[in-house]
Amino acid sequence: MTNIISSSSISPLICFFVFFFWLGHGGAQGIQHSAAAINGADKIRSQFLHLPRTRRSPQVPLTVEPSKPVRHPLFQQVPTPTFSEAMESCPKADIKNLKEQLKEENFYLHTEAGEQGRLPVLILSLKDSKQKRRPAVVFLHSTNKNKEWVRPLLEAYASREYIAIAIDSRYHGERAHNLTTYRDALVSSWIKGDTMPFLFDTVIPPFSFSLVDCKSLFLPFSSYCSKKVWDLIKLADYLTQRKDIDPKRIGITGESLGGMHAWFVAFVDTRYAVAAPIIGVQGFRWAIDNDKWQARVDSIKAVFEEARVDLGKSAIDKEVVKKVWDRIAPGLASIFDSPYSIPTIAPRPLLILNGADDPRCPLDGIKTPTKRARKAYAKAHSSNNFKLIVQPGIGHEMTSLMVKEASDWMDRFLKQ
């Protein structure tokens, strides 16, 4: 049985992605300077242009389709991971036979037409709760993993009276078919330019543009616009309508790729009241300018190699890197980069968790966004709502300390 969910208007959301066509045709260089003149997040969220005339996939009513638990989840890596000490360490309530006390929900949210428009969702909660409306936390997995991988976190949070939610990112988990689905999608994105699988497809809808649609994009940054963010926005549509969730107490966190997703959707959708991205926040443009892009590129190298060949280069260099980002994630290395997007999350609580020696998220690359964020939070009289934790001696790894800090952060702001 499929249930239709009404989708209410999301007035505070940004309309900021319509200018992707412009970016892909050389507009990215000029907008970095205009971004410095932004006068607060409200202008970014409130100023918007007309929606693009065409989309790759038509919109459909948000519907819920029941599904079954995934017994053998697909991991796009070899060997298949089997255990995470960090996730297993997540604080949990002392409940006898906890697994038997948990209610499990598996279903698909249909967010748009097409195969990737079916969003797999896993939810865990306590069967017998005394709370009518509980806080909720969304957990986002890292590259090549799936929603089942974060189950230890779901169980731990559910034991503490949260509604705990996980999804499969696009081209992952139930949205993948083999060990190369995500890699192939990245390469296809470079070749065709019709999808944004690295980051934005999970956060925003895929669409196409014409020059007519974007003719007024040669305006100050505050005039940029977008369509609604998509998978995670549609998830928020659903979660805020559940009778067992307090719509004002929804948090989001994630690891690596999931941390980037958490960062971007917190930037875009204010219904995510608390955010704690783990080893995800970084400076994409800083990495290019300071020749520190290699580790991030190596994590999804196939698409950069494809671009290198197409561009007639003997080796991947910063020009290749910039062109790939502008093609598969327009604006990621410019106007949507952390110096501009992170401060707009203020005054909502934001905890950034990184390793001091992480080559994919170099610490020097987040100095500017951190400085700007502190200023934004101070201006909003909410300095205590922003925190950066950098764990010494840690590379690109989610640790038990990070899991504990994220857990405490959620408790602090969602259990008031």
Interval 287-303: pLDDT, tens: 999 999 999 999 999 99
For residue 97, the tally of other CB atoms under 10 A from its CB is 7
User: Which residue, among 166, 178, 161, 192, has the nearest Cα to 76 in the 3D structure?
Assistant: 178
pLDDT at residue 216 greater than cutoff 80: no
**What is the rounded CA–CA span in Å between residue 187 and residue 2?**
34
Sequence-distant (6+) residues with CB within 8 A of 80 are none
**What is the rounded CA–CA span in Å between residue 359 and residue 290?**
12
User: Which residue, among 265, 247, 151, has the nearest Cα to 200 in the 3D structure?
Assistant: 265
**What is the rounded CA–CA span in Å between residue 365 and residue 412?**
28
Q: What is the mean pLDDT of residues 104-125?
A: 94
**What is the rounded CA–CA span in Å between residue 244 and residue 57?**
32
Q: Please give the pLDDT value at position 205.
A: 46
Sequence-distant (6+) residues with CB within 8 A of 244 are 125, 129, 132, 133, 134, 163
Q: Torsions phi, psi of 82, nearest 5?
A: -125, -15
C-alpha distance across the termini of the chain, in Å: 37
Q: What percent of the chain has pLDDT over 90?
A: 69
Q: Which tokens belong to 332?
A: 């990621």
Interval 361-405: pLDDT, tens: 999 999 999 999 999 999 999 999 999 999 999 999 999 999 999
Domains of the chain (ranges plus CATH)?
69-203+229-414 (3.40.50.1820)
The helix/strand/coil state of 55 is strand
**What is the rounded CA–CA span in Å between residue 302 and residue 142?**
18
**What is the rounded CA–CA span in Å between residue 380 and residue 345?**
11
Beta-strand runs (E) in 279-400 = 350-355, 386-391
Positive or negative CA dihedral for 62, 67, 70, 75? Answer: negative
Q: What percent of the chain has pLDDT over 70?
A: 78
H-assigned helices in 1-60: 20-22, 28-35, 41-46
Q: Range with the lowest mean pLDDT among 20-24, 46-50, 294-298? A: 46-50
For residue 379, the tally of other CB atoms under 10 A from its CB is 13
- Burial of 30-59, coded b for 16+ CB within 10 Å and e otherwise, reads ebbeebeebeebebbbebbbeebeeeebee
Q: What is the mean pLDDT of residues 152-165?
A: 98
Report DSSP letters for 140-201, one per residue: E--TT--GGGGHHHHHHHHHTT-EEEEEPPTTSGGG--STTHHHHHHHHHHHH----TTTHH
Q: Please give the pLDDT value at position 380.
A: 96
Q: Torsions phi, psi of 46, nearest 5?
A: -95, -30
Radius of gyration (Cα) for the chain, nearest Å?
20
The helix/strand/coil state of 348 is coil
Return mean pLDDT, the chain: 84
Q: Range with the lowest mean pLDDT among 150-159, 210-219, 283-292? A: 210-219
Interval 332-363: pLDDT, tens: 898 889 998 999 999 999 999 999 999 999 99
pLDDT at residue 262 greater than cutoff 70: yes
Per-residue confidence at 3, pLDDT binned at 50, 70, 90?
low
Sequence-distant (6+) residues with CB within 8 A of 269 are 10, 12, 13, 229, 232, 233, 236
